[in-house]
């Protein structure tokens, strides 16, 4: 059964060091609204505050799209960390490992995980530190990232921690958040999206931008006129938009609007390339077909 929601939230996430991050933006839209809006506009969020807001301040039938990778590649090698006896068997075990290794890292930081001598072998890190098991080239990818590429997107490996397009740190810090969620909040596709409850999904804001008429390589928006045009393409009224807006805020607004228009589509909850094993190990990007 396809879940139904009353509210649609999108979180542009950040894995940067420190407590508060201008790269985090949160937007929400009710089913009956004609425009999405930013949550606490002007506020500089911490990752912990996002977790508290999600758990304590949002309606029960809300879908939350987080712009991060839920997990690491598994299907290509049959393990997250092939050859290591302690490699976790599934995504939830991976989240627990990240949390345990990062117990001394404040603000959902992840240094304790990527600095582990065995795990570090799989990551491309700053200062030319590329692990001998990174694999070279662009690194390893999940099956869902292959689906993203087929849609015209340019995903980055979650094992890459270097460069402006890197998503690894944000994904790992996001895994700490996912591990801390109460179990009555479903994380799809690891959990079934039960009717009437909160559901957290992984999103890729470029997918929403493409649906809003943007090109994949020009998906970022920083001016109000372009944002108004994108929201109109998604069937929304732009509302009060400043002349200049951060690309993080624009991504969150567009993706919240996209979720309202697409979360009811049954095929997005049952992607053809995803099987049960992939769902439990690698997860999936909502909207990747």
Digit-coded pLDDT (tens) for 8-19: 999 999 999 999
Task: For residues 83 and 102, give the distance between their C-alpha atoms in angstroms, rounded to a whole number.
Answer: 22
* Phi-psi group of 40: left, alpha or beta (phi > 0 → left; psi -120 to 50 → alpha; rest → beta): left
**% residues pLDDT > 70 (the chain):** 100
Looking at residue 1, what is its pLDDT? 66
Digit-coded pLDDT (tens) for 260-282: 999 999 999 999 999 999 999 99
* Phi-psi group of 209: left, alpha or beta (phi > 0 → left; psi -120 to 50 → alpha; rest → beta): alpha
Q: pLDDT at residue 223 above 80?
A: yes
Q: pLDDT at residue 45 above 70?
A: yes
Query: What are the CA-CA distances from residue 236 to residues 23, 229, 230, 251 (Å)?
Result: 24, 9, 9, 15
C-beta separation of 70 from 187 below 8 A: yes
Mean pLDDT over 114-136 rounds to 92
pLDDT class for 195, splitting at 50, 70, 90? confident
The overall average pLDDT reported for the chain is 94
Digit-coded pLDDT (tens) for 57-96: 999 999 999 999 999 999 999 999 999 999 999 999 999 9
**Residue whose tokens read 């700053």:** 126
Residue 111 buriedness (CB in 10 A; 0-12 / 13-18 / 19+): middle
Range from 23-32, 217-226, 238-247 carrying the lowest mean pLDDT: 238-247
């Amino acid at each position: 059964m396809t879940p139904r929601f009353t509210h649609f939230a999108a979180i542009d996430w950040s894995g940067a060091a420190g407590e508060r991050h201008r790269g985090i933006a949160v937007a929400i839209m009710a089913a009956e609204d004609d425009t999405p809006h930013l949550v606490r506009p002007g506020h500089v969020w911490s990752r912990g505050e996002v977790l508290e807001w999600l758990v304590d301040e949002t309606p029960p039938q809300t879908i939350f799209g987080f712009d991060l990778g839920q997990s690491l590649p598994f299907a290509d090698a049959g393990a997250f960390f092939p050859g290591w006896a302690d490699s976790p068997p599934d995504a939830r075990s991976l989240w627990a490992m990240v949390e345990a290794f990062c117990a001394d890292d404040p603000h959902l930081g992840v240094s304790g995980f990527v600095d582990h001598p065995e795990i570090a072998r799989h990551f491309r890190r700053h200062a030319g530190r590329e692990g001998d098991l990174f694999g070279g080239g662009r690194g390893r990818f999940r099956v869902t990232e292959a689906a993203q590429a087929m849609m015209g997107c340019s995903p980055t490996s979650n094992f890459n921690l270097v460069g402006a397009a890197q998503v690894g740190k944000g994904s790992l810090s996001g895994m700490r958040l996912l591990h801390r969620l109460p179990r009555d909040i479903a994380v799809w596709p690891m959990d079934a999206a039960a009717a009437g409850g909160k559901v957290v999904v992984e999103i890729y804001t470029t997918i929403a931008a493409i649906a809003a008429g943007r090109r994949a390589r020009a998906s970022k928006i920083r001016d109000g006129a372009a944002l108004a045009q994108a929201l109109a393409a998604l069937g929304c009224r732009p509302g009060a938009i400043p002349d200049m807006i951060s690309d993080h805020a624009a991504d969150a607004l567009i993706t919240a609007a996209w979720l309202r228009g697409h979360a009811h589509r049954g095929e997005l909850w049952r992607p053809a390339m995803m099987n049960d094993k992939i769902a439990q190990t690698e997860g999936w990007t909502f909207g990747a077909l």
